[in-house]
Chain A
Amino acid sequence: MISDLPVLKPFRLQSTAHDSPHSPFTAHHGILLLIALMLSICVGEAQAGPGTPSILATILRWTPLLAQGFALNIAMSFFAMAIGTVLGLALGLGLIAVTRPVRAISWLITQFFRNAPWLVLLFYCILLMPFEVRIGGAIVPLPGWAKSTAGLALPVMANVAELVRGAVQSIPSSQWEAAEALAFARLATLRLVILPQCVKRMTPPWMNLYAIVVVATPLTSIVGVSEAMTLTGDVLSSEGRPELLVPMYLYLLSWFFIYCYPIARATVALERRFQVS
Chain B
Amino acid sequence: MTCAWTPAQPLVRMRDVHKKFGAATVINGISIDVMKGEVICIIGPSGAGKSTLLRCINALVPIDSGSILVEGQEVNDPKLDKLKLRRKVGMVFQQYNLFPHRTALANIMMAPLHVLKRDRVDVEAEARALMRKVRLDGKEHSYPGELSGGQQQRVAIARSLAMQPAAMLFDEVTAALDPETVKEVLVTIRELAEEGMTCVIVTHEMGFAREVADQIYFTDRGVVVEHGPPAEFFTNCRDERTRRFLSQIL
Using CB atoms and an 8 Å cutoff, list the residues of chain A in contact with chain B. 174-175, 177-185, 188, 192-193, 196-197, 200, 277
Contact = CB atoms under 8 A, between A and B. Distances in A.
A182 B60 contact: no
B219 interface: no
Contact of B114 (A188, A197, A200): A188
Given A184-B115, A185-B83, A196-B101, A174 B95 contact: yes
Interface string B51-88: 00000001010000000000000000000000110110
A200 B100 CA distance: 12
Contact of B58 (A181, A184, A188): A181
B90 interface: yes
B18 interface: no
B93 A180 contact: no
Given A192-B110, A192-B114, A193-B99, A182 B86 contact: yes
Contacts of A182: 86, 110-111, 115, 159-160, 163
A158 B83 CA distance: 34
B2 interface: no
Nearest to A191: B114
Given A188-B114, A188-B115, A192-B110, A181 B99 contact: no
Nearest to B99: A193
B142 interface: no
Contacts of B131: none
Contact of A180 (B60, B95, B110, B145): B60
A177 B60 contact: yes
Nearest to B102: A196
Contacts of A179: 99
Contacts of B160: 181-182
Nearest to B112: A182
A179 B111 CA distance: 8
Contacts of A174: 93, 95, 97
7 contacts: A178-B98, A180-B86, A181-B60, A182-B110, A182-B163, A183-B84, A196-B101
Given A180-B60, A181-B91, 4 more contacts: A182-B163, A183-B87, A193-B99, A197-B99
Contacts of A200: 101
A139 B143 CA distance: 53
A197 B99 CA distance: 9
Contact of A184 (B84, B90, B114, B145): B114
Given A182-B110, A182-B160, A183-B86, A177 B93 contact: yes
A21 B175 CA distance: 41
A271 to B, nearest CB: 18
Contact of A197 (B58, B97, B100): B100
B80 to A, nearest CB: 13
A180 B169 CA distance: 14
A166 B93 CA distance: 25
Nearest to A173: B97
Nearest to A182: B111
Interface string B200-219: 00000000000000000000
Nearest to A195: B101
A183 B83 contact: yes
Contacts of B99: 175, 178-179, 193, 197
Contacts of A188: 114-115
A185 to B, nearest CB: 6
Nearest to B162: A182
Contacts of B101: 196-197, 200
B115 A183 contact: yes
